[in-house]
Structure 1
Amino acid sequence: MIAILIVFVLGIMLLFNFYTRLLSKISQNGIRRKLEKGKISDQQLEKLCNAVDKGRKRKMMAIFMYGIFYKSFLNMQEDIYQLYRAEMEKRGMLNQ
């Protein structure tokens, strides 16, 4: 009986992990499309990049939001930060 419960809990955890990965990819693709279409101004880009930079350093928030999958949240924040950072470099905003 306990073995079935453990398998069930592990299955739920695996599903949640897949869900967070899918959510991350959808979010990144949406951001990437907005950046490619130029829908984000320089001021917005700078604010978003700063906000994500702060969020990627907050491990306690990640633990509260995602529990044992906090590293998934941190990886998602890091990937989004890299997208914004690359766009800032492309626009020449980092040299200012």
Structure 2
Amino acid sequence: MNNVTSIVVLIAFILGIMLLFNLYTRMLSKIQQNSIRRRLEKGKVNDQQLIKLCNAADKGRNRKFMAIFMYGIFFKSFLNMQEDIYRLYKAEIDKRGLTY
């Protein structure tokens, strides 16, 4: 019975760590998006930089191997983060009337 209890505690501990990592990646994503949003609103990104950043975000959102390598089983968090960043840049490009 002692071994079963130890295994259950270990599984609960691992799940707890996974939950914390998931919360951390979500928080990191929100911080990054807010930072990008503020830079765009303040006009700190010129048109050429915006197009380059949008192209980089477009490439990044399709890199599943990199997502798996960096985030493991939470690779969908990375892909969602890249997709949200791409949407921010794309919306700003549309707002400025640029093409890329």
TM tier relative to shorter chain: over 0.9
- Measured after TM superposition, the shift of residue 49 of structure 1 is 0.3
Query: Given the alignment of the two structures, is residue 86 of structure 1 paired with residue 87 of structure 2, yes or no?
Result: no
Match of 1:74 in 2: 79
Match of 2:29 in 1: 24
Q: Give the SS at the match of 2:45.
A: coil
Identity %: 75
What TM-score does the superposition give when structure 2 sets the normalisation length?
0.93
CA distance in 1, matches of 2:7, 2:28: 31
What is the RMSD of the two structures over their aligned residues, measured on CA atoms? 0.8
What TM-score does the superposition give when structure 1 sets the normalisation length?
0.97
Amino acid at match of 2:66: M
Match of 2:40 in 1: 35
Match of 2:60 in 1: 55
CA distance in 2, matches of 1:59, 1:71: 9
Q: Give the SS at the match of 2:12.
A: helix
Q: Give the SS at the match of 1:57.
A: coil
- Measured after TM superposition, the shift of residue 58 of structure 1 is 0.5
- Structure 1, unaligned stretches of length 5 or more? none
Aligned residues: 95
